[in-house]
Every structure is written in structure tokens, then in C-alpha cells.
Structure 1
Amino acid sequence: MIRVEGLYKSFDNKTVLSDINVVFESKKVNLIIGKSGSGKTVLLKSLIGLHTINKGKVLYGDRDITAMTSRQIKLLREEIGVVFQGGALFDSLTVLENVKFPLNLFTNFSEKEKNERALFCLRRVNLTDADHLYPAEISGGMKKRVAIARAIVLKPKYLFCDEPNSGLDPLTAIVIDNLIQEITHEYDMTTIVNTHDMNSVFEIGEKIVFIHEGRKEWEGTKEEIADSDNKNLNDFIFSSKLYKKLKHVLK
């Protein structure tokens, strides 16, 4: 479980996040949704310590990342896997070398052990014959799967994904969604995903947090969205015709 208490974040005296209070549930796929510029990516980066917040707490169990030393944060990050929006693969490294990268940083494994672990993770994301290829030689969907393999190579307790379906066709996006859901439950991870993909909301969202203009306006389950009376949430998710159709289906 990750608990956020009274989180504020500003850049150049401009407030981006205001008084965010939310609990991201263990062993579930938690989604953060909102318009571009709403603050959801800033929130995700604040959760993992890439942004220093102005006020508030981010608690991993009883550990507050905002009060940790740099060494403590490094130890915590061994429990964290991150899938960045563009995949963030190293172009000069092969697929196998990209997946091994966290093992090189955080473990004392032998080269054989690192290869075995990396190849296991590549098999888990259904990439069995791509280990020798470079990022430029694989598709966008494959890059996302490599990024997921790298994110889980250290057997993390927490998985963060920033717009994992960005730039993917609808069918490939479904594959990535299903993979995220499967590994969350398989490894009992607390998963937090930033997304604007409404298919993700209705297919894999177990806990959903809606951010609007830097504030948390709504939280609940995908089933509860249909009954929400929050205008900003409804305007974000549904066009008028689609809203009526989906609302009927979800009920």
C-alpha cells in the first residue's frame, strides 16, 4: 500500500498539485487519470522521488519517502519498477542488456545469474527471440514489453507505469494492459498507472483516481464511474452519446 497525505507540488511558484490525499491499494492495478496538464505525471514522479514535493507525505507502508536520506531512497528503489512513457530503453544496448541493466546496478549476481533472470523476464512478456536485437530493430509494442521486463527484473513490490499505451495501436494496447494486470496479480505488486486510455480504465482499473487541475476530484472503482455525478469526470471520460451507451452497459 502507498498512502499520500496532503501532498503539494509547485514549480516556479506555480502550484501543480494541491492537497492530494489518496491510498493506492496493494496487489491491485491503480489508475491515475486526467487531462493533459492535470498533474497526474507530476504526481507519479513525486511518488517515486523524482520530484521533491513542497509539503506532505508519501508513505510506503510506514516509510515516508519524503523524509528519507539518499541512501534510503536508493534502497527503496530496489523495490520499485518503472515503465516510462517512451520506454526509455538504451539505444546502444541490446534487449537483453537493457533488461539486465537494473541487475548491474543493484545486485551482485554473477553474469550467468543476470542472464538467466533477464531471459526469464523476457519470456514472461512473450519475447523469446529478441534478446540480441537493439531497440531500433523492434516495434513499439515490443519496446513496451522490454520496458516491462526490465521493470520486473528485480522482483519489485511496486510497479509504476507512465502512459504505457502511448503511441500504440488499440490491439497492442490491449496486450500491454493484459500483461500489466497479469504480472500485478502474479507477483502481488502494488501497481500505479498513469493513463488517458479509457479502455484501460474499464478493463484493468481496480482503483481509479481522477486528477483535475491539480486536485483529486474523484476516486473509486470502474463500476462506480457509471454512477458518478462529478461533471469534470464525466466530461473527461465520455462524450454525450458514448456516455449514455457505456453507462447503460456498465449498469
Structure 2
Amino acid sequence: MITIQHINKSFDGKQVLKDISTMFTPGKTNLIIGRSGSGKTVLLKSIVGLHEIDEGAIFYDDRDFTKMNHKLRKKLRQEMGMVFQGGALFDSFSVEENVRFPLDMFTNKTAKEKQERVDFCLDRVNIKNAHHLFPAEISGGMQKRVAIARAIVMNPSYLFCDEPNSGLDPETSLVIDELIHELTVDFKMTTIINTHDMNSVMEIGDNILFISEGEKSWEGTKHDILHADNKKLQEFVFANKTYRQRRDEKIEKNN
């Protein structure tokens, strides 16, 4: 579980996050959504410590991240997995070398133990017969699955995904969404996903936090969102014709 309390963050005198408090629960896909410039990326980066907050507190279970020194934070980061927007694979590393990298950096496992863990993670994300290929030799969807395998190779308690569907076609995006959700449930991770993809919201939005102009504007589930009494949220959700149609269909069905 990750709890944030009254987070404030400013850059050059401009306040980007304004008194945000919420809880991200384990075994659920927790989504942060909002328009570009709303502050959702800053919030995610603040939670993982890439930005230092000005005020507030961040708790990983009962551990206050904001009060940790560098050594303690480094230790805690070994419990985190991160899927970056572009995948962030090492071009000069093979698929299995990319996945093994955290094990080489942070563990004293034997070569056999590392290989077994790499094989397990690649199999879990349905990557087969590609261990010795390089990122340039596989598709964008496969690259994202390799990135997810690398993110879970240390068996993290916390998984962070920054726009995991960026650059992917709708069908592949659905596969990635389902994979992240399955892994979250299976491994009981506290997963936080930063996204503007409404398909992801409607498919895997167990808990949703809507950020508008740096403030928490709404939170709920994918079942609540279509009928939420929040003008800014509705404008964001139904900006796409598909979701206006979905709303009308649900209303008609319930009448």
C-alpha cells in the first residue's frame, strides 16, 4: 500500500501539485489520469522520489519515504519496478540481458538462479524464443512486454507504469493492459499507472484518481466514472465520441 498525504510541489514559483491526498491499494490497478499538464506525471515522479516534494508525506506501507536518507531510499527502490513510457530498454543488450540487468546490479544470485528468474519472467509475459534478440529486432509490443518482465524480475511490491501504452496500437494496448492487471493481481503488487488512455481506464481501472490543474478533482472506479457528477471529469472522459456513445448506451440500458 502507498499513501500520500497533503502533497504540494512547485517549480520556479508555480505550484504544480496542490494538497493531494489518496491511497493506492495492493492487488489493484491504481490509475492516475488527467489532461496533459494536469500534474499527473509530476505526481508519479514525486511518489518514486524523482522529484522532492515541498510539503506532505509519502508512505510505503508504514514507512515514511519523505524522511528516509539516501541509503534507506536506495534499499526501498529494490522493492519497486518501473515501466517507462518508451520502454527504456538498453539497445546494446539482448532481451534476456535487459531483464537480467537488475539482478546483476542488486543481487548476489548465482548465474543459474538469475537465468531461472529471467526465464520465468519472460515466460510470464509470453516472450518465447526471443532471449537473444535485441530490442531493434522485436516489435514495439514485445519491447513493452520485455520492459514489464524487467520491472518484475526483482519480485517488487510496488509497480509504476508511466504511459505504458504510448505508441502502441489499440489491440496491443489491450494486451499490455491485461498483462499488467494480471501481474498486479497474481503478485499482489501495489500498481500505479499514469495514463491518458481511456481504454485503459475502462478496462482495468480498479481505482482511478483524476487530477485537474494540480488538484485531486475526483476518485472512484471504472464503474463509477461514466456517471460521476464532475464536469471536468466528464469533459475529459467524453471528449472521445466512443465514450459519449458508451455513456448513452448505458443510460438507455438502465432506463
Q: Provide TM-score, normalisation by structure 1.
A: 0.97
- What letter matches 1:172 in structure 2? T
Aligned-partner SS, 2:20: strand
The aligned runs of 1:147-226 (5 Å cut-off) are 147-226=147-226
- The CA distance in 2 between the partners of 1:243 and 1:131, in whole Å, is 40
1:39 aligns with 2:39: yes
Please name the residue that 1:109 is paired with. Answer: 109
- Cα distance, 1:242 vs structure 2: 4.2
Please name the residue that 1:68 is paired with. Answer: 68
Aligned-partner SS, 1:75: helix
Change (3 A) 1:130 1:241: closer
1:4 aligns with 2:12: no
- What letter matches 2:184 in structure 1? T
- The CA distance in 2 between the partners of 1:198 and 1:239, in whole Å, is 10
- The CA distance in 1 between the partners of 2:95 and 2:67, in whole Å, is 36
**Unmatched segments (≥5 aa) in structure 1:** none
- The CA distance in 2 between the partners of 1:128 and 1:191, in whole Å, is 25
- The CA distance in 1 between the partners of 2:65 and 2:239, in whole Å, is 39
Number of aligned pairs?
Answer: 251
- Cα distance, 1:241 vs structure 2: 5.3
- What letter matches 1:54 in structure 2? D
Change (3 A) 1:140 1:240: closer
Aligned-partner SS, 1:115: helix
**Unmatched segments (≥5 aa) in structure 2:** none
The aligned runs of 1:67-86 (5 Å cut-off) are 67-86=67-86
1:124 aligns with 2:124: yes
Please name the residue that 1:29 is paired with. Answer: 29
Deviation by residue 1:88-116 (Cα, 9 ceiling, x = unmatched): 11111111111011101111001111111
1:49 aligns with 2:63: no
Change (3 A) 1:119 1:64: same
Change (3 A) 1:215 1:115: same
- The CA distance in 1 between the partners of 2:63 and 2:106, in whole Å, is 20
Change (3 A) 1:139 1:240: closer
Please name the residue that 2:233 is paired with. Answer: 233
Structure 1 stretches of at least 4 aligned residues deviating more than 6 Å after TM superposition: none
- Cα distance, 1:129 vs structure 2: 1.0
- Cα distance, 1:240 vs structure 2: 7.9
- The CA distance in 1 between the partners of 2:68 and 2:22, in whole Å, is 20
Asked if 2 retains the 8 angstrom alpha-carbon contact of 1:223 and 1:250, the reply is: no
- The CA distance in 2 between the partners of 1:84 and 1:152, in whole Å, is 13
Determine what percentage of the aligned residue pairs are the same residue: 61
| Aligned alpha-carbon RMSD (Å) | 1.2
- The CA distance in 2 between the partners of 1:102 and 1:66, in whole Å, is 24
- What letter matches 2:122 in structure 1? L
- Cα distance, 1:229 vs structure 2: 1.4
The aligned runs of 1:136-155 (5 Å cut-off) are 136-155=136-155
- Cα distance, 1:245 vs structure 2: 2.4
- The CA distance in 1 between the partners of 2:98 and 2:115, in whole Å, is 11
- The CA distance in 2 between the partners of 1:224 and 1:23, in whole Å, is 17
Aligned-partner SS, 2:127: coil
Please name the residue that 1:17 is paired with. Answer: 17
Change (3 A) 1:250 1:109: farther
